[in-house]
Chain A
Amino acid sequence: MVIPTRCDVVVIGGGPGGSTTGALLRQKGYDVVLLEKKRHPRFNVGESLIPHFWRYCDVTGSTAALEAEDFIQKAGGTVIWNGVIRQMRFQDFGYGRSALHVERDRFDHILLEHARRQGVQVFEDVSVLRVDLDDGQNRVAYRLADGKTPGEISCRFVIDASGQNAVLAKQLGIRVIDESFRFMSVWGYFLDSKYVSTDGRAHTFEHVRSIPPTTFVSSVGGLGEWGWVWHIPLRESTSVGLILPLDEMKKVKATDEALEAYFLRTCYEIPYLDRLLEHARYIEGSTHIIRDYSYRPTQLAGPGFFLVGDAAAFVDPIFSVGAVLAMYSAYLATWAIDRSFKHRGQIAQNQAIFSSQFLGRLEVSRALALPRYQASGSASDLAKQVVQFESSLEQELMYVVAAVTTRSENFLEMAQKTDGQGITSDKYRVLDEIAF
């Protein structure tokens, strides 16, 4: 198949944001070309998914393909924050469908193949070099992986769904480091780790199908308010990762060996995690690192383009909302583009709605992830509005996820319930210990 020279919309990136945008635009009848730099399946991190993502898969029609994959279903969260153990379950918040732990190479591949079946023209091993924005006639320059073959596509709209590469956002200089979050991440994979279920007990890995796991999260002592660790059982292995302040990493030599040694030593110093990993086997060479990856946008859309998912912003991944935000912004971008094709005079209005809805939602995630959040400015006004647009049960879920990491005051400020009386919840429990 030859890459066409013209289409309605070019989507940059074949992760969940790009695949969802592509599939939704096809449903509306638009001609979509999706350019993916790598070839799927390809490795990605971000394995914990909250059940909200199913809503978007229902709309694109990818639900059956995902269900057939039989990913690990997780029942809730176990959070140890400053020594206090708390647990919550999604079923207590009206979610009949499961949250998942997914291998992202498979998950992302299924969504991309679904988009292809919907008629999205998907091209892999294609790097986007530059986007020339020119009202109504944008040009996307690309090069194939062989390094030689350049090409160009003309289109009405460009979606930047290129994740942390943020191809267009970087080119336009509309992405800045979020100084509130200066952290990095180191993670790796273990075989035969124990895991924690909602019964408050540790179980051996062979039960991961019969006794559903929780996502285990713990603050890490000695790393201020920032450091925390995740423990996510997958089908074959368990993903374990540290979120660390950048300052901490200045103490560690930047060689791969030093990082791996630091990672493993730290994992075995964290209470309860050390016991979960007691008889586990680290998969040699599976340590990965991302440095300084938190940033925010100064602009989310403009004449001819929209940013979707991580290409727009990325904050502390503690609440597992990344993929859901990508799918939500994909839905929002499709809505705005469809209206802009139908009513050409409305483009600016649609971009404004896209930007404020998406920015409000991004700010909610940011506020929940910051140890101390000062609500001020238009972004936090938009965040408050987003919270008010949520159902009572959903607000309670937001409150609980904030409460288990001791950030409920941030949420109450956003929910404008400063007296602390407006929202409470008995939908999480405090455990004395995890039983082994």
Chain B
Amino acid sequence: MTTVAKLRDFVLNELHWDESRGAITPDFPLIENHVVDSMGLLMLVSFVEEQFGIALADEELVPNNFGTITSIAKLIEQKKSEG
């Protein structure tokens, strides 16, 4: 399963979204549409760290990194390559 697919599953199953599943595309704006909120952000951080074996720092919890599934996937790849 790709990073994007894992993230999409998590967003659909665990976060705040009760409309059409098809709407959650990789570039769907998660914050603007209230899928990721203050509580969702923390759930995402825990999921990303456990699932992908990385540790996120305080200053990485910015809207640019969590605005879309694509941006979260990019953050994960970048952290993995930093090793």
**Which residues does A use to contact B, with CB under 8 Å?**
55, 59, 94, 328, 331-332, 335, 339, 346, 349, 352-353, 356-357, 361, 385-386, 388-394
Contact = CB atoms under 8 A, between A and B. Distances in A.
Given A389-B31, A391-B32, A391-B37, A353 B55 contact: no
A385 B58 contact: no
Contacts of A357: 38, 42, 61
Interface of B: 31-34, 36-39, 41-42, 45-46, 55, 57-58, 61-63, 66
Given A55-B39, A328-B38, A339 B31 contact: no
A390 B37 contact: yes
A55 B55 CA distance: 27
A95 to B, nearest CB: 11
Given A391-B32, A393-B34, A335 B58 contact: no
A60 B67 CA distance: 27
> Which among B36, B42, B55 has the highest number of chain A CB atoms within 10 Å?
B42
Given A331-B39, A332-B42, A357-B38, A385 B32 contact: no
B39 A388 contact: no
Nearest 10 Cβ contacts at the A-B interface? A391-B34, A352-B58, A388-B63, A335-B42, A353-B58, A392-B32, A356-B58, A389-B63, A391-B32, A389-B31
A270 B63 CA distance: 44
Contacts of A331: 39, 42
A197 B25 CA distance: 42
Given A357-B38, A389-B38, A391-B34, 5 more contacts: A55-B39, A349-B58, A357-B42, A390-B37, A394-B34
A94 to B, nearest CB: 8
Nearest to A348: B58
A391 B39 contact: no
Contact of A389 (B37, B45, B46, B55): B37
A346 B37 contact: no
B39 A353 contact: no
Given A349-B55, A361-B38, A390-B37, A385 B62 contact: yes
A335 B62 CA distance: 18
A346 B55 contact: yes
B46 A339 contact: yes
Contacts of A385: 62-63
A332 B41 CA distance: 11
Contacts of A361: 38
B56 to A, nearest CB: 8
A356 B62 CA distance: 11
Contacts of A346: 55
